[in-house]
Amino acid sequence: MNRKNQRALSIGLVVVATVVVIVYASRTDGDQGKASEGHDHAAMTGAASDELSPVQLSAESAARIGVAYTMVERKPLVLTIRTVATVNYDETRLTKVNPKIEGWVERLHVDFTGAPVRRGQPLLDLYSPLLVSAQEELILARRLVDDTIAEPDSRAAERARNLLASARRRLEYWDIPADQIERIERSGTPQKTLTLKAPASGIVIEKNVVDGTRVVPGMDLYMIADLSRIWIEGEVFEKDLSLVREGQVASVMIDAYPGEVFMGVVTYVYPTVSLESRTGRIRVELANPDLKLRPGMYANIGLESPVREEALVVPRSAVHATGEHAYVFVRGADDVLSAREVTTGLASGQEIEILNGVEEGEQVVSSANFLIDAESSMGSAIQAMPGMEMEQPAARKGAE
């Protein structure tokens, strides 16, 4: 490159830098109320859409810089609420096992946390002197009934039957299964230990006993959780709570199973809001027949709520916001792109509602907005400079 070309390049860079400074100054000095001598201040702000020059862009140029167009559509507007959540136990399917009598654990049949159990399955063998006495009373009452079988209508027979029923009821109140009571009556011999059985099916999530443990009435020995259904609990921002309702279908994604979607139903919206986070809790119930979902797992809840039956929508990328204004570039005749100020409404996913400013069926720029905006702003700034008026696209076409 010779010296003359180098000098021309240097001058060109200086001019471009000067224009950029002027554009920046014209946008940041708008609030200071100062006008440049001999020029209208409004022409220098470049903030509102009517101060942006139209840009003519051929199809080849648009393809080269990655400009894409989209149509302004009228369609139902559905808001999607997404929130993080955790998998929890269904509290209505938790069962605690605690004795109603004092004794000692002779043998554990279920001896570790996490063991699956079925309803009626033996959990432990319990020795209790009170149970032994109650068995002896039962056996004695049974013998009295047998002794009076020849005179079933006598008062003695009636008292014996009442005594037998009372002995049976006492053991039943201590959660001794009916089949064990019947076996004691039939054998006529008291057993040293009696077996406590699982009152429900599920997974043992707590175990507080070992062999030889002394237990007292009300002591929690086991907790059993039925995991065939689980709860997904999450937090929803206060502003979105009005869009959540019981019975609403929810999609749940679990971090442990990427790409897999589980469908559930919102069963409860908690009636309180956290003062610190300004969120409210919601609960989604899911069937879990294969026990893939485990309490403590992280999850994501997605809820779709229709908010408009019809709305004008464009992609979010089509809207250029400056703080006080929002505008889109509308494609007109001869590929002329004109900035038009719009009023935006609700946003949903990658789409945003347009309340006014455009009409259904118009084409707007959906990508590379920043390039169009830069060229349009630069054109407005150069036109505001003395002796540097730029021709509009239509004027240039007429001159050609």
CATH number of 246's domain? 2.40.30.170
Is 35 a member of any domain? no
How would you write the pLDDT of the chain (400 residues) with one tens digit per residue? 554 444 444 434 433 343 333 334 334 444 444 433 333 433 333 444 455 667 777 777 777 777 888 888 888 888 888 999 999 999 999 999 999 999 999 999 999 999 999 999 999 999 999 999 999 999 999 999 888 887 878 888 889 999 999 999 999 888 888 888 999 998 888 989 888 899 999 999 999 999 999 999 989 999 999 999 999 999 999 988 988 999 999 999 999 999 899 999 999 999 999 999 999 999 999 999 899 999 999 999 999 887 777 888 888 888 888 777 888 888 887 778 888 889 888 887 788 888 988 888 888 888 755 555 555 554 554 444 444 444 445 444 444 4
Please say which residue of 176, 202, 225 terminates a domain: 225
CB 34: neighbour CB atoms within 10 A?
8
What lies within 8 Å, CB to CB, of 50 at 6+ separation is 339, 341
219, 71: one domain: no
CATH number of 58's domain? 2.40.420.20
Phi then psi for residue 345, to 5 deg, are: -120, -130
What lies within 8 Å, CB to CB, of 290 at 6+ separation is none
87, 236: one domain: yes
Spatial distance between the Cα atoms of 137 and 143, rounded to a whole number of angstroms: 10
Stated pTM of the model? 0.64
Cβ atoms of 269 and 241 within 8 Å: the answer is yes
Cβ atoms of 275 and 252 within 8 Å: the answer is no
Token digits of residue 98: 């605690």
CATH number of 197's domain? 2.40.50.100
Q: How many domains does the chain have?
A: 3
154, 241: one domain: no
- Domain residues for 263? 80-91+227-307
